[in-house]
Structure 1
Amino acid sequence: MKLNRLIACLCLAWIGAAYAHGGEDHGDAPAVAIAADKPQRLPDGRVFVPKEAQRRWQVLTVIGQPQTLSRSVTLNAHVVMDPNAGGRVQAALPGRVEPGPNGLPVLGSAVRKGQILAYIVPAVGSLERASQQAERADLQARLKLTEAQQARLESLNGTVARKEIEAAANEVQALRQRSTALAAGAAREPLLAPATGMIASADAVSGQMVEAKDVLFEIVDPARMMIEALVYDPGMTRGLQQASIVGTDMTLDFVGGAGALRDGALPVLFRPRRNTADRLALGQIIKVVANTEDKVQGMPVPATSIVRNASNETAVWVHDSAELFRSVAVQVSPLDGQRVMVSGVKPGARIVTSGAVLINQIR
């Protein structure tokens, strides 16, 4: 009885396998892929991804078409201020920081050109201070005596030579100027904003002792940042055109390059196009993809299409059929901040542009 039941179960299992796909013969390997309801890698290296999983992963493709475009180079760069739309506020002499009329500005504060940001009270020793006070007292005493002498000479006008009256007047004026200059030297010095913009960095607190040339504030115009990149081939600066920042849609216009090396490289400047520079921060480290005059042939695809295969080669996934994907090794060259140029794929192939990383992880 048990033997009969076992034979019946085996027969039913064989019949179910034979008619599971309407009697179609798909071959051994495809049958394994189609019978599964989850993504898996097939023995031939292709990947089976059901339609439901493709929708969840938002898998998108594009038809590869060969094109001839400008060759690009990737440059290390950082954000710098526009020298005509910003500046630094430094201490001109050692002293103590005091708040300005509106207090000390903080990060992000809007300032206008000529605004008093803070004061520097000169740092002097006790002996120097005593010497200045004694000199000022001496000047005040001499000034009073000279003014009195001038008044007496003017009262004797007509009996005293005119040159004596003029000499007394000149001496009074000189003493007054010396007294004013001495008082100004002991007074606090205002720190003025060199440009209109916002405070990008602030390193000043009330009562802080600073040295000459210490940078206390940096002022920038967020809408007028610039990008400084480094080029190690002097001939490349003549062929640079517009550029873009890697990972963004920001377009940069080439301004110019230096004619002298700095730390073994030539600095070149780019300016973001209008209404995009406010997304950058002063000193931010970025990568720039710059177009050159050289031309290159290939298929432009988004950078998200590029993955690494099992041999650690750069590759893309090609959509062979409705639920099958195949990995193809390619050569890659940068095109702009969001696209790359690939070669090694047949024209007209459907290249995965979104979801390639997820497909590449299927084992």
Structure 2
Amino acid sequence: MADDSGSPARAALAYTSHTDTAELFVEFKALVVGEPSPFAAHLTQLADFSALTAGKVEVTLSGGGQPDERFAAGPSENPGIFRPVVQPAYPGERQLVVTVESPGLRSVHHLGPVPVHPDLKSAPEAREEGKAPGEIPFLKEQQWQVAFATALVGTRTLRDSLPATGVLRAPSNAETTIAAPTSGILVLPEAVPLVGQAVRRGQVLAAIVPRLAERGDMALLVEQQHMARLRHDHAHREQQRVKMLLDSGVVAERQLLTAQTTHEMAHAELDATEKRLSQYRQPAGASASGIPLQSPLAGAIAQSFVSNGRYVEAGEKLFHIVDRDRLWLEARVPEADSSRLSQVRGAAFEVDGFAGVFEIEPGENGRLVSLATVVDPVHRTLPVIFELRHPDLHLPLGAFAQVRLFTGQAATALAVPETALVDDNGVAVVFVQTGGESFERRPV
């Protein structure tokens, strides 16, 4: 083969290189002193596997006891392809480095040693090479136009597992609903408890001031207060009289003790009637005492249905409080897999909207709560419950989860992402990248 000048065409070289941020696939003719070698550098951003369309590419030739040589270029008219022209000045073995710089991205690709030939005669000639058996060509220009991605094959820790669906919920002893114990006016504290706010065990969240059903009850309360005050005043005077008689030696000391007890009981009765009357007269927004609503556990308010001054009925739901220090994963295992439930040792789950996988390792960050032995007659599944300690507080209760229940010991093996598996007429296959633009089909 010959090029346009009549000289034998130089052999083409191709390199593929990955960094954490970019993939480089570059093609160029064998390097010769004084001869231009146009590079076709195809650059893919690994964040989304799209073509890199901005920045510059710099090719560096170094080593061999000669000065460094640099050749740079910006984007070409073809998106994703940069075309620096390398024209070496020094022969010998040189180190080839391609540096990519773009807004928000810098990627350095060390391609290793490359020969620079002193003249065209010493450069290898191009040869017609057929496609390797089983090779599937897929050009970069095609890859950039479709939903496409690659991942490095590596060793992973794998375990046998059962697939299941699941739901996240609070443990049965880690959530509570506070309902109105009686009908009345709801009175909130100055610091109104809000959804998501942490609360202490025993903290007063609100109070209910009971409303009297009949208007006549008000008159009855006033009468009770009046009678209680009369009894209180009479007991007070009697106590003072007995004390004077005791000082004169007319009565025994036990009579004074009896008078003091009677006075204290009358005082307590008066205080109770006045409190009942003040609750009735207290406007809804004021800070009157009432029936306090206390949190029975420490946690966070998951739901709140309160507003200051609102009339509530007995039994009406006011607060839902959850202790988020623990989380239950309730997985539903198909009936067909019931024989393997006794082998379950751990779990992992994914939730839409959250990156990564959440693992539960009994003895480390959680525990196995229960393994069901009765099939749900409607869904034909068996529930398996795991508890996760100190979970991500952003995980929402009630969220749907994709679950894997581990049934075997961990083993290290070569692995590919599950999304790399392709169903090819009932056979699971993966496509292995053998070059920048070539792939090979392999059953797994």
**TM-score bracket for this pair, using the shorter chain length:** 0.5 to 0.7
Q: 1:74 to 1:183 in 2, by over 3 A?
A: farther
Partner of 2:432: 319
Superposition deviation, residue 177 in structure 1: 2.7
Cα distance change on mapping 1:148 and 1:68 into 2, 3 Å = closer
Residues of 1 paired with 2:253 and 2:384: CA distance? 68
Q: When the two structures are superposed, what TM-score results if normalisation uses the length of structure 2?
A: 0.52
Larger Rg: 2
Match of 1:192 among 274, 280, 294: 294
| Aligned residue number for residue 80 of structure 1 | 170
CA distance in 1, matches of 2:187, 2:268: 27
One-letter amino acid of the structure 1 residue matched with residue 162 of structure 2: S
Q: Please tell me whether the aligned partners of residues 159 and 408 of structure 2 are also in contact (alpha carbons under 8 angstroms).
A: no
2:212 aligned with 1:121: no
The structure richer in strand per residue is 2
Counterparts of 2:372 and 2:315 in 1: how far apart (Å)? 26
What is the alpha-carbon distance in structure 1 between the residues aligned to residue 372 and residue 301 of structure 2? Answer: 31
Does residue 283 of structure 1 match 2:398? yes
Q: Residues 320 and 96 from structure 1, CA distance in 2 versus in 1: closer, same or farther, beyond 3 angstroms?
A: same
Is this contact kept in 2: 1:97–1:205, CA < 8 A? Answer: yes
Distance 1:159 1:66, change over 3 A: closer
1:257 aligns with 2:364: no
- The whole-number CA distance in structure 1 between the counterparts of 2:371 and 2:313 is 34
The separation in 2 between residues aligned to 1:305 and 1:142, in whole angstroms, is: 89
Q: 1:53 aligns with which of 142, 145, 154?
A: 142
SS state at 1:78 partner? strand
Q: 1:270 and 2:358 equivalent?
A: no
Output the CA distance in 2 between the equivalents of 1:225 and 1:148: 61
Distance 1:221 1:168, change over 3 A: same
Residue 176 of structure 1 pairs with residue 293 of structure 2: no
More helix per residue: 1 or 2?
Answer: 1
Shift of the 123–287 alpha-carbon distance from structure 1 to 2, 3 Å rule, reads farther
State the superposition RMSD in angstroms.
4.2
Deviation digits for residues 115-167 of structure 1, max 9, x if unmatched?
Answer: 43322111321333433332232222111112211211121113124443322
**In the aligned structure 1, how far is the partner of 2:203 from the partner of 2:371?**
36
**2:345 is paired with a residue of what secondary structure?**
coil
Output one character per residue of 1:283-322: Cα deviation in whole Å (capped at 9) or x when no partner: 323232221248999974323224556x6x5844433865
- Whichever residue aligns with residue 197 of structure 2, its letter is S
2 CA distance for matches of 1:293 and 1:97?
55
How many residue pairs align between the two structures? 287
1:139 to 220, 228, 241: 228
Q: Distance in 1 between matches of 2:219 and 2:344?
A: 63
Note the residue ranges of structure 1 that are not aligned, 5 or more in a row.
1-21, 31-43, 329-344, 347-363
Tell me if structure 1 keeps the 8 A contact 2:164–2:332.
no
Structure 1 match to 2:16: none
Structure 2 CA distance, aligned partners of 1:238 and 1:131?
68
Once residues 183 and 265 of structure 2 are traced to their aligned partners in structure 1, the CA distance between those partners, rounded to angstroms, is: 29
SS at match of 1:279: coil
Partner letter of residue 174 of structure 1? M
1:303 paired with 2:394, answer: no
Match of 1:204 in 2: 306
> TM-score, normalising length from structure 1?
0.62
* CA separation of 1:148 and 1:327: change in aligned 2, threshold 3 A: farther
Greater shift in the superposed pair: 290-299 or 249-258: 290-299
Pair 1:245-2:362 in alignment = no
Aligned-pair CA distance for 1:281: 1.6
Tell me what 1:351 maps to: none
Larger displacement relative to structure 2 (170-179 or 256-265) = 256-265
Q: Percent identity?
A: 21
Choose between structure 1 and 2 for higher RCO, CA contacts under 8 A separated by at least 6 residues.
1
Q: Distance in 2 between matches of 1:183 and 1:236?
A: 68
Seen in structure 2, the aligned counterparts of structure 1 residues 182 and 60 have a Cα distance that, compared at 3 Å, is same
How big is the shift at 1:271? 0.4
Task: Confirm or deny: 8 A CA contact 2:138 2:438 kept in the other structure.
Answer: yes
SS at match of 1:59: coil
The CA distance in 1 between the partners of 2:266 and 2:403, in whole Å, is: 62
Structure-to-structure mapping, 1:310-349, within 5 angstroms: 315-319=428-432, 322=435, 323=437, 345-346=443-444
Q: Note closer, same or farther for the CA distance 1:67–1:207 as it changes in structure 2 (3 Å cut).
A: closer
In the alignment, residue 319 of structure 2 is paired with which amino acid? Answer: F
Classify the secondary structure of the residue corresponding to 1:137: helix
